Amino acid sequence: MWYSKSDNYTFNDDLIRVPSEVHIGGFHGGLDEKSAEEYMKKGKIPEDWWYFPIAKRSKIENLGCPTQKPEKLLERIILASTNEGDIVADFFCGSGTTLAVAEKLGRRWIGCDMSKYAIHVTRKRLLDIANSKALGIKVKDESKRPKYGFSARPFYLITIGNYLTDKLTNRKETINLILNLYGASPIKGAFKYLHGIKEKDKEIIHVEHINYPITPAEISTTIEEFKNSPFNDWTLTILGWDWAPDTFEKAKDEWEKLGINIKLLHIPPISKLQDVLKKYKIDLSKVINFEYAFDEEIRKILRFIEPGYLKLKVTQNKKYVRIEIEDFWIKLPHGYEDIEEKIRKKIESSIKEGKKYFLPLINYWAVDWDYDGKIFKHDFVSFDKKLAEGKICPIAEHTYENPGTYRVVVKVIDIFGGETSKELTIKVE
Ligand SMILES: C[S@@+](CC[C@H](N)C(=O)[O-])C[C@H]1O[C@@H](n2cnc3c(N)ncnc32)[C@H](O)[C@@H]1O
């Protein structure tokens, strides 16, 4: 069955024809011998029973998702009903079959899924698309189908539709919710960037906008106001969901120069916050008005953690650049204790051993060798196929073709889904 919103639709029947069945001796359905032959050669439009199994043991395609569709099936659908450059959307994308096929066939795509796991699997699949099988070409022997060989074009990952995010359109309410969760209260006085105060720890708090990454510029303005406030010998705590590349390092340079105390912390994910409010039947309006105080049990679930620490070693020889992850460190989030024992032991020992044993903490890392300031391109990616195996390569190499000054961004995704990034400037003479 297929549907169209209007009469303006695409149906490329010739791209999806299958061989016609052998005609029975002499009967050509009213066609002469020559036309019958051509008719047979052209093939027919597939009928209503399509059979495309995914090889159970195909390590490349089979992602272990119970309802995963075969790429060959989506190839037929997409070839028939779209042209190159068209937009294909799958609002229940699961493991991302539709998106991967659309990408390989030169279509633009939009995917969406309510499950974080599905998004994670899809993202990984798209980043690793070069190793998957090429589509849109006919081969005699399927086992000899070549690899696609290209990286995915840049894409955005956007989190939307969270009911709490939708409710938190009022900036002041968001600030109050986060301050309450952090155990702080609103600050009195005409401050623009200083939002809260936690007297017992001598902390002044700035809460970042929801859905926006904190930038070094934002931190500078906040520091400026903090410096001129009567609290400037206290600690300035910046709470944010997301950090623009290098914010942590740039901020650190600045506050060390100025000799002030700063703490940067991740606000717990909004989806987790939402789950807890629901589970403990907490009234959001009471939280916002400080009529409700979070207890220790909840604070343990909704913990504020420090951004990851990433140390890179960069070596350069003319146009050749080599980046090595020298050290990586994250604070273990709450809940990691529930992870399978084998993996947990690896994580714990990698943390304990410190330097050089950090690899099991990394799920994958990527480098954009020529960052345009807007969209991160995954020029280099190294994966750990299984969680915490530590089988990832900590070295990325690149040879530039042209001289110039390049912005290079390195992104590390840890096994808890956290993201730590760093920006470098590479000068090629
Ligand atoms: C059958 S799976 C899709 C499998 C996919 N065709 C593939 O090849 O991998 C359905 C997906 O829809 C998602 N889903 C279910 N209800 C949803 C909703 N209301 N909004 C967004 N996604 C939803 C599920 O999380 C699941 O990943």
d(CA 94, CA 101): 13
For residues 98, 64, 344 and 419, what is the CA-based torsion angle, rounded to 10 degrees?
-10
d(CA 342, CA 330): 19
The amino acid at 266: H
Using 50, 70 and 90 to split pLDDT, how confident is the model at 22?
A: low
| Residue 98 included in any domain | yes
**What 8-state DSSP symbol labels residue 268?**
P
How far apart are the CA of 384 and the centre of ligand 1, in A? 25
Q: Looking at the predicted structure, is the pLDDT value of residue 9 above 70?
A: yes
Polymer length of the chain: 429
The pLDDT of residue 244 is 67
How far apart are the CA of 118 and the centre of ligand 1, in A? 8
Q: What is the DSSP pairing of strand 261-266 with strand 242-243? A: unpaired
Q: Looking at 28-32, 33-37, 224-228, 327-331, which range is the least confident one?
A: 28-32
Q: Is 279 helix (H, G, I), strand (E, B) or coil?
A: helix
Closest atom of ligand 1 relative to the 118 alpha carbon = 27
55 and 136 part of one domain: yes
| C-alpha distances out from residue 348 to 37, 384, 416, 418, Å | 69, 18, 14, 17
pLDDT above 90 coverage of the chain, percent: 45
Question: Judging by beta carbons within 10 Å of its beta carbon (0-12, 13-18, 19+), is residue 333 exposed, middle or buried?
Answer: middle
The pLDDT of residue 183 is 94
| Residue 159 included in any domain | no
320 and 265 part of one domain: no
How far apart are the CA of 89 and the centre of ligand 1, in A? 13
The pLDDT of residue 28 is 63
Closest atom of ligand 1 relative to the 94 alpha carbon = 27
CATH code at 97? 3.40.50.150
62 and 136 part of one domain: yes
419 and 385 part of one domain: yes
Q: Looking at the predicted structure, is the pLDDT value of residue 338 above 70?
A: no
Residue with CA nearest ligand 1 atom 17: 114
Q: Is 428 helix (H, G, I), strand (E, B) or coil?
A: strand
How far apart are the CA of 63 and the centre of ligand 1, in A? 15
Using 50, 70 and 90 to split pLDDT, how confident is the model at 160?
A: low
Using 50, 70 and 90 to split pLDDT, how confident is the model at 354?
A: low
130 and 191 part of one domain: no
The 10s digit of each residue's pLDDT in 56-88 is 667 778 776 778 889 999 999 999 999 999 999
Q: Looking at the predicted structure, is the pLDDT value of residue 165 above 70?
A: no
250 and 335 part of one domain: no
How far apart are the CA of 297 and the centre of ligand 1, in A? 33
How far apart are the CA of 112 and the centre of ligand 1, in A? 8
Q: Looking at the predicted structure, is the pLDDT value of residue 185 above 90?
A: yes
For residues 352-371, average pLDDT: 79
Using 50, 70 and 90 to split pLDDT, how confident is the model at 169?
A: confident
| Residue 174 included in any domain | no
Which is nearest to 318 in space by CA: 201, 153, 429? 429
Q: Looking at the predicted structure, is the pLDDT value of residue 101 above 90?
A: yes
Q: Is 172 helix (H, G, I), strand (E, B) or coil?
A: helix
Closest atom of ligand 1 relative to the 65 alpha carbon = 9
353 and 330 part of one domain: yes
265 and 317 part of one domain: no
Domain count, the chain: 3
| Residue 166 included in any domain | no
Provide the domain limits for residue 107. Answer: 13-144
The pLDDT of residue 359 is 83
Residues 6 or more apart from 349 whose CB is under 8 A from it? 357
Mean pLDDT taken over the chain: 85
Contact criterion met (CB below 8 Å) for 310 and 303: no
The 10s digit of each residue's pLDDT in 201-254 is 999 999 988 867 787 788 889 999 999 999 999 999 999 887 765 676 677 777
| Residue 336 included in any domain | yes
| Residue 170 included in any domain | no
How far apart are the CA of 90 and the centre of ligand 1, in A? 9
The pLDDT of residue 2 is 83
How far apart are the CA of 93 and the centre of ligand 1, in A? 5
335 and 418 part of one domain: yes
Top pLDDT among 108 and 61 is at 108
The domain boundary, picked from 301, 325, 348, lies at 301
Residue with CA nearest ligand 1 atom 7: 68
For residues 394-405, average pLDDT: 96
Top pLDDT among 52 and 426 is at 426
Closest atom of ligand 1 relative to the 97 alpha carbon = 8
d(CA 260, CA 225): 12
The amino acid at 324: E
| Residue 75 included in any domain | yes
Angle between helices 71-81 and 97-104 (to 10 degrees): 60
Query: Residues lining ligand 1, judged by CB closer than 6 Å?
Result: 65, 67-69, 92, 94-95, 97, 112-115, 118
Residue with CA nearest ligand 1 atom 19: 114
CATH code at 380? 2.60.40.10
138 and 20 part of one domain: yes
The domain boundary, picked from 253, 276, 301, lies at 301
Site to substitute for ligand 1 among 92, 117, 132, most atoms within 8 A of C-beta: 92
The pLDDT of residue 164 is 67
Q: Looking at the predicted structure, is the pLDDT value of residue 336 above 90?
A: no
Site to substitute for ligand 1 among 72, 113, 159, most atoms within 8 A of C-beta: 113
How far apart are the CA of 95 and the centre of ligand 1, in A? 8
| Residue 334 included in any domain | yes
The domain boundary, picked from 91, 120, 144, lies at 144
289 and 317 part of one domain: no
For residues 333-349, average pLDDT: 68
260 and 277 part of one domain: yes
